[in-house]
Amino acid sequence: MKKLLMLLVVMFALSLVVIGCGPADETPDTAKEETVGTDEETANVPAKPDKLEIWANDDDYQFAAVKYLVDQFVEEHGIEVIVTPRLMADQDEAFALDAPGGIGPDLIFQPHDRLGNLTSQNLLAPLEVDEATLAQYTAEAVGAFMIDGVAYGAPLVMENTALYYNKDLVPEVPGTMEELYDLAEGLTNVANDEYGFLFEALNFYHAFPWIGGHGGYVFGQDADGNYDPEDIGLNNEGAVRSYEEIQSLFNRGIVPRGINEDVLNGLFTQGKVGMVVSGPWALASYSDALGDSLAVAPLPLLSNGERPTPFAGVKGWLVSNYSDHKYWASQLALHLTTAESQAYYYAETGEIPARPDANIDNVFAEGFLAQSQTAIPMPNIPEMGQVWAPMADSLQFNAAGDNAKEILDEAVEEIHEFIKMMK
């Protein structure tokens, strides 16, 4: 009886364990799956940082627009964002020094031609973005910030230069550049700081419309569009012809030899210049100064019957590889480049959106879009960084009246040497 009683007690206890464990096991498993599912959804979203820092271009209009859009992000996500004004042209060098030391920003604002140099130094992280979101930007803008199939930037604006003109001085743009030069010569009175036509003839970026229009090129490309840094076309016959043409503008007194951006902008906004070459970044200040007298058109035909070919550039937000908050930095970059953000940025700065769904309606955009049909994308390979200094020097020599062919041969030789040293 004792053995039977003990057996019954053990069986009863085991039955309680089975009863207790059976249904209860199913419930925790289900709860665990739901919890795991929730964790998996949030596992890819890191905790919010206390703050982020970005470097925005220090142009007054652009900085104010970025600050407004950043404030929206702060309100939505509760993350403090420090917006530091820093000249876009100086950001890459400062970033290369600051980022590895852990004192750089989470985002910088750069043109796409700096991408190769920055990625070669391992300074940038891939943008954390899905294919559906990338598809909302123009294909050209996405491609400009892509290396080996990896997207490194959130495109904000696409840009190229075109011809601004003051309708009070130039009611209608001539059909050819030679006619434009003749008109400009008649409007020029150096003693009164009055000019018919100005462009930054000492700046390679602004001289390239003439170089490319006459058949010069930076790097040759294969059938797939890959650049060959050994094939440099900046001293070919067309490039030499373009330098001779620019040199003639100095000799005729149409363009002063000391021309720079500050001089050009100052004189044009004072109503002392009939026509200037610049990009959409200048639209806000030009429009404020000239109002209804301002207009934009594509550059007229060159002597060879071709239109000038400005560089096509894309500017956007790039994530630091040294950021501790790459996900949230990417989210901020994507917020700054939504369709609504780009439409607002255009309204405030005049810079052309990099998204087709950005709702803009402005007559000035038509001139830039027309000129964009002949624009040539700036190469985004690292070797492009070795082009600027030799070409800047060559333009100084060109303004001094040196032989164009000799100037360009020397510049191209120097570029080759710089590229070899770089490798």
Going by C-alpha positions, the residue among 129, 135, 93, 98 that lies closest to residue 110 is 93
Nearest Cα to 114, choosing from 90, 80, 142, 149? Answer: 90
pLDDT at res. 40: 36
Nearest CA to 218 among 313, 114, 314, 311? 311
For the cut 90, the answer to whether the pLDDT of residue 322 exceeds it is yes
DSSP H or E run through 58: none
Whether the predicted pLDDT of 362 surpasses 90:
no
Q: Which of 263, 106, 149 lies closest to 199, judged by CA?
A: 263
- The position carrying tokens 């003990």 is 6
From CA 32, how far away is CA 12, in angstroms rounded? 30
Q: Is the pLDDT of residue 107 over 60?
A: yes
pLDDT at 25 over 90: no
377: its two tokens: 């994308």
Whether the pLDDT of residue 29 is over 70: the answer is no
- Please identify which residue in the block is written with the tokens 């009611």: 171
Position 70, amino acid = V
pLDDT recorded at residue 152: 97
Instruction: Look at residue 6 in the predicted model and tell me its pLDDT.
Output: 43
pLDDT at 360: 86
383 in Cβ contact with 419 (< 8 Å):
yes
Residue 43: predicted pLDDT: 54
How confident is residue 75, by pLDDT bands cut at 50, 70 and 90? Answer: very high
3-state secondary structure of 179: helix
- Rounded distance, CA 237 to CA 216, Å? 8
Q: What is the DSSP letter of 130?
A: -
Structure token pair of residue 179: 């006619």
CA distances (Å), origin 59, targets 56, 65, 182, 349: 9, 10, 34, 10
- Whole-number Cα distances in Å, 285 to 192, 289, 334: 23, 6, 27
Whole-angstrom distance, CA of residue 5 vs CA of residue 208: 102
For 221-245, write each residue's pLDDT tens digit.
998 888 999 999 999 999 999 999 9
Cα dihedral 336, 341, 347, 348, rounded to 10, equals -30
SS3 content of the chain, % helix, strand, coil (to 5): 55, 20, 30
What does the mean pLDDT of the chain come to? 90
**Residue 131: C-alpha distances to residues 151, 230, 366 (Å):** 10, 34, 30
Residues 81, 70 contacting (CB under 8 angstroms)? yes
**Those residues with Cβ within 8 angstroms of residue 20's Cβ, 6 or more apart along the chain or in another chain:** none
User: Model pTM greater than 0.85?
Assistant: no
Amino acid present at 374: T
DSSP annotation of 310: P
| Cβ contacts of 225 within 8 Å, gap of 6 or more | none
The token pair at 133 is 């979101």
Domains and CATH numbers, the chain: 51-159+313-374 (3.40.190.10), 162-309+387-422 (3.40.190.10)
CA 122 to CA 111: how far, in whole Å? Answer: 17
Q: Where are the alpha helices (DSSP H) in 214-282?
A: 237-251, 261-269
Q: What is the pLDDT of residue 363?
A: 82
Can you give the pLDDT at residue 221? 92
In percent, the amount of the chain with pLDDT more than 90 equals: 81
Question: Worst-scoring range by mean pLDDT, 315-319, 347-351, 358-362?
Answer: 358-362
CA 394/CA 80 separation, integer angstroms: 46
Higher pLDDT residue, 390 or 139? 390
Element (H, E) at 371: helix 363-371
**Mean local confidence (pLDDT), 257-283:** 96
Structure tokens at 406: 């000799």
Which pLDDT score, from 0 to 100, does residue 368 have?
92
Residue 216: count other Cβ atoms within 10 Å of its Cβ: 24
pLDDT band at 369 (very low <50, low <70, confident <90, very high): confident
Range with the poorest average pLDDT among 273-277, 294-298, 347-351, 416-420: 347-351
Tell me if 342 sits within 8 A of 156, measured CB to CB. yes
Quick one: average pLDDT of 66-71? 98
Give the rounded distance of the alpha carbon of 294 from its chain centre.
25
* Residue with the larger pLDDT of the pair 334 and 45: 334
Instruction: Find the mean pLDDT for residues 73-78.
Output: 98
pLDDT tens digits for range 283-302? 999 999 999 999 999 999 99
CB 354 within 8 A of CB 154: no
What is the average pLDDT across 129-156? 93
Query: Which residues lie across from 275 on neighbouring strands?
Result: 165, 197
